[in-house]
Amino acid sequence: MIKIKDLEKIYRTEEVETIALNKLSMEVKDGEFVAVMGPSGCGKSTLLNILGLLDDPDAGSFIFNGIEVAKFNERKRADLRKHNIGFVFQSFNLIDELTVFENVELPLIYTGVKSSERKKRVDEVLDKVQIMHRRNHYPQQLSGGQQQRVAVARAVVNKPKLILADEPTGNLDSHNGNEVMEMLTDLNEQGTTIVMVTHSEHDARYSHRIIRMLDGQTVLENIMV
């Protein structure tokens, strides 16, 4: 599904130049569950953003589903993204003014799904993440665990082939964290490819494989048994 080679990303600010990704190469197969680990600032999020077609690399190759996308323009990336990729963030990133239902509905609106179909599919996923009873509440009225469940629901409502999760349990206690991990595992078992950034060895154990990064490069790969 994902094949990257010699990927580079350099951030330039007025004073400093940060090499966030330094000739990084890796591969993720269809249906895999990969965890990315490494110290803070080593480039994990940068990698995830490029994988998610949110950002473009400065150099290197990125093949997504057999297509070279490294040089894609903004519109093409957005198009590919909204049909194929779901995101889960550490800080949930729900929209405060929208209800749980409306938050989950958003990706469907942007992919042009009809209203009746939207309602059916949103209710389906809300049921799956067990938040149905809260569908008309606003994010602030929910606990962190519940918010992250809504975020996961939003990420999967479009039935993406790939889910990218950036420290999804970082703001949760272990109980709520485990619940989210169970949900991701379920999704993976149903065929969704997952790439997850995490600091927790415990969470990483849910994955098939751990990629360890240091200073913008992969240093080690552990295959989980």
The answer to the question of residue 116 lying near ligand ADP (CB under 6 A) is: no
Residue 96 contact partner, candidates ligand ADP, other proteins, Mg ion, none, CB within 5 to 8 A by sort of partner: other proteins
Task: Give, as one character, the DSSP assignment of residue 54.
Answer: S
Q: Would you say 36 or 125 has its CB closer to Mg ion?
A: 36
Mask for 154-183, x = binds other proteins (CB under 8 A): x-----------------------------
Residues that bind Mg ion (CB under 5 A): 45
The answer to the question of residue 77 lying near other proteins (CB under 8 A) is: no
The answer to the question of residue 40 lying near ligand ADP (CB under 6 A) is: yes
Under 8 Å between Cβ of 197 and 166: yes
Compute the C-alpha angle 46/14/59, nearest 5°.
Answer: 40
Mask for 32-61, x = binds other proteins (CB under 8 A): --------x----x---x--x-xx------
Positions 122 through 141 that interact with other proteins (CB under 8 A): 140
The answer to the question of residue 107 lying near other proteins (CB under 8 A) is: yes
Task: Give, as one character, the DSSP assignment of residue 13.
Answer: -
How far is 90 from 184, CA to CA, in rounded Å?
A: 14
Under 8 Å between Cβ of 55 and 20: no
Q: Is 43 helix (H, G, I), strand (E, B) or coil?
A: coil
Q: How far is the CB of 202 from other proteins (least distance, A)?
A: 22
Among 43, 86, 107, 139, binds ligand ADP (CB under 6 A): 43
Nearest CA among 197, 200, 155, 159 for reference residue 176: 200
Written as one string, the DSSP assignment of 190-224 is TT-EEEEE-S-HHHHTTSSEEEEEETTEEEEEEE-
Sites of contact with other proteins (CB under 8 A): 40, 45, 49, 52, 54-55, 75, 78, 81-82, 87, 89-91, 93-97, 106-107, 110-111, 140, 154
